[in-house]
Structure formats: structure tokens, C-alpha cells
């Protein structure tokens, strides 16, 4: 058993903290965290005793794939575990990750995960290079204890391998200063009895949920606390020319809508799953929300009620699809659709209907949102799906959403060059500027002029 270090890489600070908490409770090995691929590579070059790297895939700068390529080439003895919210088949079919799937379990952790889902692959691939912690106590960084502890559990400090001293009883409502004084003395970890640790984990989860439901916490912070920051979306929209006011308005709409959703038990769980993913479906939902609210604000459809309907539709549009590759198909006449198996074609064709069926019994779900979801793949020409209606029959608010969805899809699936942006602008002007789409298209143009 060694004392090599564990490196956890994730651009969400809170997500990295939760993973570090799981790891430190299991092993004695020192844990380092990094927030980007470049940070991770710098750490790997500075520390020759890292034995295991656990990396998220989607990050603001670079991907877990980039880090894996570096490790395979320059640090091949290090165990690597990939974490992603994308469909596992996406990675299985990628030659780059073939070695991660040679054994069972694979060196892959799918989000969202439970503690044992996280620990299992790490034990399998790195077990003999990690030092097990005490069977009686679970370790937690003292700063994290302050962050997460809202339940009364006994806490100990370690004096030796066999001697632990209780500093907090399980009925103590301790002042923070009590713990801070140990920090000043150089104490880095507290220890919780294994029998009480599950209770503590539930407390940590409760803390997260409490933060997410706090109306005083902005939507940006909520998403970052959950898993993923929308900073990259903000930056991208500003680079494209969207005003700060429009971005802020969309943030507020998301904030209001998510708070409303969390009160509705019938769909809150479904939304939570979406927000815990960083794949195309998640990104499309976020980007479509920002774009549709910004467009609506520049039309006479602009109102808090309309913004909420658009945001709700953005979050739920692909509720019945879990495979992001199927969600990327927006044209039933294109080659990607034609290559699908019959059952996959049916999933794509029917997913607007299926999503509406899933939402049939949901209270406080506006009829306009149902219409938007049903029509979000329709096109002005009448060649969309599932009903093939044209620009004269598609609902006005759906037109706003369709333009936002179409623009978001192209932004996410094509290289963002000046040629691509010019192509999108020409396409929108030529095909989305007539009938019920006219006002929506004009709003789109205005939304990128401040």
C-alpha cells in the first residue's frame, strides 16, 4: 500500500469537493484537485507521486480526453478514471477510450453517481496503490466539515494510528470557532465514526439541496454548485454580441423557473437529472433558454410569463430522449437519421409526443409550453416533424423557440468560424423571416445588437 497522491480534475469546485470527500473518507492518500486540463498537466509535471487521476470529461478549457491523451503518452503508469454525464456508448465507440473499457468495471463513472459507483472503479484500477483508511473512522477535511455539517455527529481528531480524541459530541451545536481553533493548530482532518458517516453524507446532500432551493442564490451559482457553471455560455453569447441585459434576463428566468420546478415533485427529479449532465442535451437546453428569452424580449411577446414558458420548454424539450446522439438529429431527411435502426428512428420521430405524454399529469405546466415542445422541430417550410406544419400554422411563441433552438444546435455541433456564423445568418434570413416567424426573426436580429 502506497502513499501516492490522488488527483481529481473538475471545473466545478463544488463537484470536485464532493468527489474529494468520498475519496478522503476511503483512503489515506493525499488528494489534490485541479480545475482545468492545463492545471492538471502542470500538477502532474510537478508531482511524480500521483498514482491515480479522476477527471471529468466536459470542462471549460479542454476535455478529459485531452488529459487522458497526455497521461497515456507521458505518464502511462498512472491509473486514469473518466467521469461524464454523456451516454456511455459515446465513449465506448471512441477509439481513444478503448482501453478504459477493456475490464469490468470500466474505468468510467457515469453521472449522476452514488458514493459506491464512484469508489468502485477507483478501487479496481488503483486499489493496490492506495492505502485504506481506518475501518472504524471516516476522514474528512476539516474545512469541508464546516461546509457540509448540518447534522449533529461526533467528530474526532487523530493523535496516532490507534488513538483518536473526541472534540465534538453528537449532540453538540458547536460554534464554528471551536473547529477553527484546531485549524489554527494545524489539524487538517476530522474523523467521523463509520457507523455515523452515512448520516453525515445525507447531511451534505441536504446542504446542497438547501443551497439549490434558496431563492437568494442566483441561478449561475446554483448550476455551478450542482455540477456545471454556465460561465462558458455567458462568455460565448457575449462574444457573439448579445447584451449583458439579455444574458441577465435569461438568468433570472432560469432562476424563477427552476425554483418553481423544485416545488413540483413530479418533474423536479427529471430536471435534476438533466442539470447533473454536461452533455449536448444539457448544453442545448441552457443555450436555447438564453437565446429564446433574449429574442422574446425584443418582441411584443416579451413578458415574465412568456419567459417562464420558454425556459420551461427549453429544460424539458428532450425529456424523453437520453441518448445525446439521437437528440442531435433535427432533420428526418438527413443521412444521420437514415442510418438509424427502426426503433431509434421511432424514438426520434415521436419524442415530442412522448415528452408531452410524460408531462400530462404535471400541474402548473402551461398549455403554451406543451405547444412549444410539440412544435420545436417544425420548420417554416413544413418539412419539420412530427406534424409537418408550416410558418402559417406554427404558434408565434414556438417560432421564437424554434429559431433559438436551431441557432443553439448549430452553435453546438459545428466549428464556430466566421463562415459558419455567416451561413447561419443567411439561412435564418432566407427561411425564418416570413409568416409567424417574421417577428421572431426580427427579435433575433435585435437581440444581437444590444
CATH at residue 66: 3.40.50.2300
Are 301 and 187 contained in the same domain? no
| pLDDT, one tens digit for every residue, the chain (450 residues) | 457 899 999 887 767 888 888 898 889 888 999 988 999 999 999 999 999 999 998 876 788 999 999 999 999 999 999 998 767 888 888 899 999 999 999 999 987 777 888 999 999 998 788 888 878 888 888 877 776 655 568 888 888 878 888 888 776 566 677 778 888 888 888 888 888 887 777 666 555 545 434 444 443 344 333 333 354 565 566 666 666 677 777 777 777 776 666 666 656 655 655 555 556 788 888 889 889 998 999 999 888 889 889 988 998 899 888 788 899 999 999 888 999 999 999 999 999 999 998 887 666 678 899 999 999 999 999 999 999 999 999 999 999 999 999 998 988 887 666 677 788 888 888 889 889 999 999 999 888 754
Domain stops at, among 79, 112, 133: 133
Are 140 and 196 contained in the same domain? yes
Are 92 and 49 contained in the same domain? yes
Cβ atoms 428, 403 nearer than 8 A:
yes
Quote the CA–CA distance of 158 and 141 in Å, as a whole number.
12
Its pTM stands at 0.51
pLDDT of residue 272: 57
Are 251 and 369 contained in the same domain? yes
Q: Total domain count for the chain?
A: 3
Domain with 177, as residue range(s), is: 134-213
Are 149 and 288 contained in the same domain? no
Quote the CA–CA distance of 355 and 357 in Å, as a whole number.
5
Give the three cell numbers for residue 359: 408531462
E strand map for 99-253: 108-110, 137-141, 155-158, 164-168, 189-193
Are 322 and 389 contained in the same domain? yes
Are 97 and 154 contained in the same domain? no
Cβ atoms 72, 98 nearer than 8 A:
no
pLDDT of residue 216: 46
pLDDT of residue 78: 95
Task: Centre a 10 Å sphere on the Cβ of residue 218 and count the other Cβ atoms it contains.
Answer: 15
Asked if the peptide bond before residue 339 counts as cis, ω within 30 degrees of 0, the response is: no
Give which of 267, 209, 23 is closest to 132, Cα–Cα: 23
Number of helical (H) and strand (E) elements in the chain, helices listed first: 21, 9
Site of grid cell 408531462: 359
Are 324 and 391 contained in the same domain? yes
pLDDT of residue 224: 37
Amino acid at each position: 500500500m502506497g502513499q501516492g497522491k490522488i488527483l481529481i480534475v473538475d471545473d466545478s469546485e463544488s463537484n470536485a469537493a464532493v468527489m474529494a470527500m468520498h475519496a478522503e473518507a476511503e483512503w489515506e492518500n493525499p488528494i489534490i484537485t485541479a480545475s482545468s486540463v492545463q492545471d492538471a498537466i502542470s500538477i502532474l509535471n510537478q508531482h511524480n507521486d500521483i498514482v491515480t487521476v479522476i477527471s471529468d470529461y466536459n470542462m471549460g478549457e479542454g476535455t478529459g480526453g485531452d488529459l487522458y491523451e497526455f497521461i497515456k503518452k507521458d505518464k502511462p503508469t498512472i491509473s486514469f478514471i473518466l467521469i461524464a454525464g454523456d451516454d456511455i456508448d459515446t465513449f465506448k465507440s471512441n477509439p481513444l477510450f478503448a482501453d478504459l473499457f477493456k475490464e469490468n468495471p470500466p474505468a468510467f463513472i457515469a453521472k449522476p453517481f452514488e458514493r459506491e459507483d464512484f469508489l468502485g472503479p477507483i478501487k479496481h484500477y488503483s486499489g493496490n496503490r492506495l492505502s485504506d483508511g481506518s475501518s472504524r473512522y471516516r476522514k474528512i477535511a476539516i474545512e469541508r466539515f464546516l461546509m457540509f455539517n448540518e447534522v449533529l455527529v461526533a467528530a474526532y481528531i487523530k493523535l496516532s494510528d490507534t488513538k483518536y480524541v473526541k472534540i465534538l459530541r453528537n449532540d453538540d451545536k458547536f460554534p464554528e470557532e471551536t473547529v477553527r481553533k484546531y485549524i489554527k493548530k494545524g489539524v487538517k482532518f476530522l474523523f467521523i465514526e463509520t457507523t455515523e458517516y452515512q448520516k453525515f453524507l445525507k447531511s451534505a446532500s441536504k446542504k446542497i439541496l438547501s443551497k439549490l432551493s434558496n431563492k437568494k442564490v442566483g441561478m449561475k451559482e446554483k448550476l455551478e454548485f450542482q455540477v456545471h457553471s454556465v460561465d462558458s455560455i455567458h462568455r460565448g453569447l457575449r462574444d457573439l454580441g448579445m447584451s449583458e441585459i439579455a444574458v441577465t434576463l435569461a438568468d433570472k428566468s432560469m432562476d424563477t423557473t427552476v425554483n418553481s420546478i423544485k416545488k413540483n415533485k413530479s418533474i423536479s427529479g427529471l430536471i435534476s437529472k438533466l442539470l447533473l449532465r454536461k452533455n449536448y442535451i444539457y448544453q442545448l437546453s441552457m443555450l436555447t433558454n438564453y437565446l429564446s428569452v433574449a429574442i422574446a424580449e425584443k418582441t411584443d411577446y416579451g413578458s415574465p410569463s412568456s419567459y417562464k414558458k420558454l425556459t420551461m420548454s427549453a429544460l424539458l424539450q428532450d425529456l424523453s430522449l437520453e441518448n445525446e446522439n439521437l437528440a442531435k438529429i433535427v432533420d428526418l431527411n438527413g443521412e444521420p437519421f437514415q442510418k438509424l435502426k427502426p426503433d431509434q428512428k421511432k424514438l426520434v420521430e415521436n419524442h415530442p409526443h412522448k415528452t408531452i405524454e410524460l408531462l400530462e399529469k404535471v400541474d402548473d405546466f402551461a398549455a403554451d409550453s406543451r405547444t412549444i415542445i410539440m412544435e420545436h422541430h417544425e420548420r417554416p417550410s413544413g418539412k419539420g416533424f412530427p406534424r409537418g406544419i408550416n410558418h402559417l400554422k406554427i404558434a408565434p411563441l414556438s417560432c421564437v423557440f424554434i429559431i433559438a433552438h436551431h441557432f443553439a444546435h448549430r452553435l453546438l455541433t459545428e466549428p464556430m468560424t466566421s463562415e459558419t456564423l455567416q451561413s447561419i445568418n443567411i439561412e435564418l434570413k432566407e427561411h425564418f423571416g416570413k409568416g409567424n416567424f417574421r417577428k421572431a426573426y426580427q427579435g433575433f436580429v435585435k437581440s444581437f445588437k444590444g
